[in-house]
Structure 1
Amino acid sequence: MKMNLNDAVEQQYEPKRFFLMLLIGISIYVAFIALSYLKGDSGSWGIMSLLPTLLVLVVAVVSRRPFESMIAGCIAGLVMLNPFDLVGPFADNISTVLGNETIIWIVLVCGLMGGLIQLLEISGCLNGFSEWLQRVIKSRRQALAATAGLGIVIFIDDYLNCLAVSTSVKKLTDFYNISREKLAYIVDSTAAPMCVIVPISTWAVYFAGLLEENGVAAENEGMSVYISAIPYMAYAWLALIIVFLVVFGIIGNWGPMKQAEERAAKGNPVPEAFEESELISNVQAKRTVSFRANIINFLLPMILLIGSTIYFDVDLLKGALFTCFATVLLYWVQGILNFDTQVEAIFKGFKVMLYPLSTVIGGFFLKAINDELGMTSFVIESITPYMTTVTFPAVIFAVMAFLTFATASSWGLYILAMPIVFPVAEALGVSTPLMIGALLSASSFGSHACFFSDSSLLAAQGAGCSPMQHAFSQFPYAMLGAVLSIFTFLGLGFLLA
Structure 2
Amino acid sequence: MTYGALALIPPLVVIVLAIALRASFEALLLGCIVGFIIIGYHDHTNFFSDFIATFYKVMKDDSTVWVILVCGLYGSLIGLMVKSGGAMKFGEDALKYIKTKRAALFGTWFLGLFIFLDDYLSALTVGITMKKITDHFKVSREYLAYIVNTTAAPWCVIVPLSTWTVFIGSILEKCNFAALGQGNHVYLSVIPYVTYGWVSVFMIPLVIMGLVPMIGRMQKAEALSLNNVVALPTDTEEINIQASGFGNGKKASSMYFIIPIAITLICTFLMNYDALKGIMIGVAFTFVYYLIIKLGTFQQLSETIFSGFNSMVYALALVVMSYILKDVGDKMGLTSYVINGVKPYISKELLPAIIFLSITLITYTTGSSWGVYAVVIPIVIPLAHTLGANVLISVGAVVSTGVVGSNACLYSDTTILTSQSTDISNLKHSFSQLPYALIAFAISTIIYIVMGYTIA
Tell whether the structures are fold-level matches, with TM greater than 0.5: yes
1:176 aligns with 2:137: yes
8 Å CA contact retained: 1:230, 1:437: yes
Instruction: Give the corresponding residue for 1:125.
Output: 86
Instruction: Give the corresponding residue for 2:158.
Output: 197
Return the match for 1:322 from 281, 285, 290.
Answer: 281
Return the match for 2:438 from 462, 479, 482.
Answer: 479
8 Å CA contact retained: 1:394, 1:489: yes
Per the TM alignment, residue 278 of structure 1 is displaced from its structure 2 partner at its CA by 6.2
Q: Work out the CA distance in 2 between the residues paired with 1:477 and 1:379.
A: 25
Per the TM alignment, residue 419 of structure 1 is displaced from its structure 2 partner at its CA by 3.0
Per the TM alignment, residue 480 of structure 1 is displaced from its structure 2 partner at its CA by 0.3
Q: Spell out the pairing of 1:287-298 with structure 2 (5 A cutoff).
A: 287-290=248-251, 294-298=253-257
Instruction: Give the corresponding residue for 2:290.
Output: 331
1:82 aligns with 2:40: yes
8 Å CA contact retained: 2:380, 2:395: no
Instruction: Please state whether the residue corresponding to 1:219 is helix, strand or coil.
Output: coil
Which structure carries more helix by proportion?
1
8 Å CA contact retained: 1:256, 1:473: yes
Per the TM alignment, residue 66 of structure 1 is displaced from its structure 2 partner at its CA by 1.5
1:219 aligns with 2:180: yes
Return the match for 2:300 from 327, 341, 344.
Answer: 341
Q: Supply the AA of the counterpart residue of 2:375.
A: L
Q: Spell out the pairing of 1:251-262 with structure 2 (5 A cutoff).
A: 251-262=212-223
Instruction: Please state whether the residue corresponding to 1:492 is helix, strand or coil.
Output: helix
Return the match for 2:95 from 101, 110, 134.
Answer: 134
Return the match for 2:336 from 377, 385, 388.
Answer: 377
Q: Structure 1 stretches of 5 or more lacking a match?
A: 1-42
Q: Supply the AA of the counterpart residue of 2:422.
A: A
CA-to-aligned-CA distance 1:377-429 (integer Å, 9 cap, x gap): 11102212321111110010011111101111110012222232222211111
1:48 aligns with 2:19: no
Instruction: Please state whether the residue corresponding to 2:157 is helix, strand or coil.
Output: helix
Per the TM alignment, residue 295 of structure 1 is displaced from its structure 2 partner at its CA by 1.3
Q: Spell out the pairing of 1:389-400 with structure 2 (5 A cutoff).
A: 389-400=348-359
CA-to-aligned-CA distance 1:270-315 (integer Å, 9 cap, x gap): 4374787762248642223346xx0111111111111111111111
Return the match for 1:469 from 394, 410, 428.
Answer: 428
8 Å CA contact retained: 2:100, 2:137: yes
Instruction: Please state whether the residue corresponding to 2:254 is helix, strand or coil.
Output: helix
From the superposition, tell whether residues 277 and 481 of structure 1 become closer, same or farther in structure 2 (CA, over 3 Å).
closer
Instruction: Please state whether the residue corresponding to 2:214 is helix, strand or coil.
Output: coil
Q: Supply the AA of the counterpart residue of 1:45.
A: Y
Per the TM alignment, residue 105 of structure 1 is displaced from its structure 2 partner at its CA by 0.8
Instruction: Give the corresponding residue for 1:63.
Output: 21
CA-to-aligned-CA distance 1:228-281 (integer Å, 9 cap, x gap): 011111100000121111122221211111111111111233437478776224
Moved more, 480-489 or 245-254: 245-254
Moved more, 114-123 or 449-458: 114-123
CA-to-aligned-CA distance 1:431-461 (integer Å, 9 cap, x gap): 1111111111111111100111111111111
Q: Structure 2 stretches of 5 or more lacking a match?
A: none
Q: Supply the AA of the counterpart residue of 1:247.
A: I
From the superposition, tell whether residues 46 and 68 of structure 1 become closer, same or farther in structure 2 (CA, over 3 Å).
same
Q: Spell out the pairing of 1:358-437 with structure 2 (5 A cutoff).
A: 358-437=317-396
From the superposition, tell whether residues 86 and 272 of structure 1 become closer, same or farther in structure 2 (CA, over 3 Å).
closer
Identity value in percent: 36
Q: Work out the CA distance in 1 between the residues paired with 2:238 and 2:150.
A: 26
Instruction: Please state whether the residue corresponding to 1:231 is helix, strand or coil.
Output: helix
1:98 aligns with 2:56: no
Structure label with greater radius of gyration? 1
Q: Work out the CA distance in 2 between the residues paired with 1:200 and 1:274.
A: 34
Q: Supply the AA of the counterpart residue of 2:27.
A: S
1:228 aligns with 2:189: yes
From the superposition, tell whether residues 138 and 396 of structure 1 become closer, same or farther in structure 2 (CA, over 3 Å).
same
Q: Work out the CA distance in 2 between the residues paired with 1:208 and 1:400.
A: 19
Q: Work out the CA distance in 1 between the residues paired with 2:431 and 2:191.
A: 29
8 Å CA contact retained: 1:281, 1:348: no
Per the TM alignment, residue 77 of structure 1 is displaced from its structure 2 partner at its CA by 1.2
Question: What's the C-alpha RMSD, in Å, of the aligned pairs?
Answer: 1.6
Instruction: Please state whether the residue corresponding to 2:190 is helix, strand or coil.
Output: helix
Per the TM alignment, residue 486 of structure 1 is displaced from its structure 2 partner at its CA by 0.5
8 Å CA contact retained: 1:130, 1:168: yes
Q: Work out the CA distance in 1 between the residues paired with 2:126 and 2:331.
A: 38
Instruction: Please state whether the residue corresponding to 1:235 is helix, strand or coil.
Output: helix
From the superposition, tell whether residues 70 and 272 of structure 1 become closer, same or farther in structure 2 (CA, over 3 Å).
closer
